[in-house]
Structure 1
């Protein structure tokens, strides 16, 4: 719902009509001369809300662009070639998916690409922010997300609840093996996740993609970037070995 409202999609107008039609009916039955005022007031509320969302989004984009320039990162409006990096869910489920607001650069010795992923699931327009971090060794297929992100990042997949002590919110497994997820979410990794707003990740082979709620402020986005790097630095050797074995079976 939040994504739909921020995007100003058709859902906004559906909501408008859902409220406007009962007002018209009530106005016709009770006090017809107030119908116009009701309709005008409701339209003004909708217009003000839409404009406020657009202004807030513009401020977020300008703040991020300023920070990216100061850090020497590169920004582009779109990145269709980025989609070819991820031949695994949720990125390969919608052939018409798009990537926008792309930023690329280097942080803590790792090349990265970040931006906004937009796709459709069962006629719903959905989206989230992503961060693709460079890794030198393969990882096994795995997708772990906080429950609040599952609806937009893995809407077509069935979750398995993860029972991990200390996590700030409920996390679910959408792809991969549960023992791999448990191995990754060790005590130090949980401490990292506790230090920032909840986020998830997908990995497979030589791709590791962190997944975040859209419309984050710059401070939160930079904190997420550090936290994602920390997760990779804390990745158990067991998972790197499992990834190498998985990659070997794929190539044979």
Structure 2
């Protein structure tokens, strides 16, 4: 299998990225949901047949165990599928990539000093070097995370962060986003950092057409760094399709945005 053979028009995730992350990580919210159902279940059991209360609670506990095991098996299969794909394409895998944090001195990567970078894959695709993996950090009091895709760029870009609304809880650079009115996108996109005219220039009709083919993802860029921000727990097919579309997005960036990035970089050097 090659990246070019990936089928487009992939379905979007059913759960919001922050909820999916917490479910897969087995965070406290899973047990809160379990108790929220177990307590009424026990009350109903007491009202109907007290002898069955223990069986009701045990059955619900087994549902929790089965759900957790199913998630772990699914995660393991996704990880193995990606490893097989990466080896087939000649890409390199590593367990962590803490050295990558120095590449991204901008939100959301520089907010939590205790953030971790794991499951890193590096390689080349369509002539660009890339680094992809999982970014774990603390957002408020919650431990959340997302997948990242850092693509090589040869010219600087202006500071910008554009995300679909669903990804904002896990990776937003600010709390006051500006909605972007763009037809054809698979989700509502918002501007969290940078200028609206730059975002609108990047999300022109051809770019929107490419983004519409895959589950929604966003990006942060600044200088010679362009990082796609993606929901975690994607299968290999979705990851390859989004890699292709992220490359398309870079290839389609208008010249005016590149010139704005060069001007921004020049101003940074002078200041």
The normalised TM-score by structure 1 is 0.96
Match of 2:55 in 1: 37
- The match for 1:76 is 94
Q: Where does 1:73-152 land on structure 2 (aligned, <5 Å)?
A: 73-152=91-170
2:245 aligns with: 227
Separation of aligned partners in 1, 2:232 and 2:99: 21
Cα deviations across residues 121-143 of structure 1 (Å, max 9, x unaligned)?
11112111110001111100001
For structure 1, the residue ranges without an aligned partner over 5 or more in a row are: none
Q: Which residue of 2 aligns with 1:21?
A: 39
Q: Deviations over 1:190-223 (max 9, x none)?
A: 1111122211110011100011111111111111
Q: Does 1:205 align with 2:252?
A: no
2:244, 2:41 → 1: CA distance? 50
Rounded to whole Å, the distance in 2 between the matches of 1:157 and 1:87 is: 19
Q: Which residue pairs with 2:6 in the alignment?
A: none
User: Which digits, 9 at most, give the CA deviation of each residue in 1:40-69, with x for residues without a partner?
Assistant: 011000000000000011110000000000
Q: Partners of 1:134 and 1:112 in 2: how far apart?
A: 6
Partner of 1:56: 74
Report SS of the residue matched to 1:190.
helix
State the Cα distance separating 1:156 from its structure 2 match.
Answer: 5.0
Aligned residue-pair number = 252
Does structure 1 retain, via aligned residues, the 8 Å contact 2:159–2:194? Answer: yes
Mapped contact 1:121–1:156 kept (Cα < 8 A): no
Q: How does 1:177-216 map to 2 (within 5 A)?
A: 177-216=195-234
On the 8 A contact 2:217/2:229 being kept in 1, the answer is yes
Which string of whole-angstrom CA distances, capped at 9 and with x for unpartnered residues, describes residues 60-111 of structure 1?
0000000000111000111111112111111111111111110001111111
| TM-score normalised by the chain length of structure 2 | 0.89
Offset of residue 244 of structure 1: 0.9
Which stretch shifts more, 16-25 or 109-118? 16-25
Aligned-residue RMSD, C-alpha: 1.4
Secondary structure of the residue that 1:136 maps to in structure 2?
coil
Of structures 1 and 2, the one with the larger relative CO (CA 8 A, separation 6+) is 2
1:9 to 15, 23, 27: 27
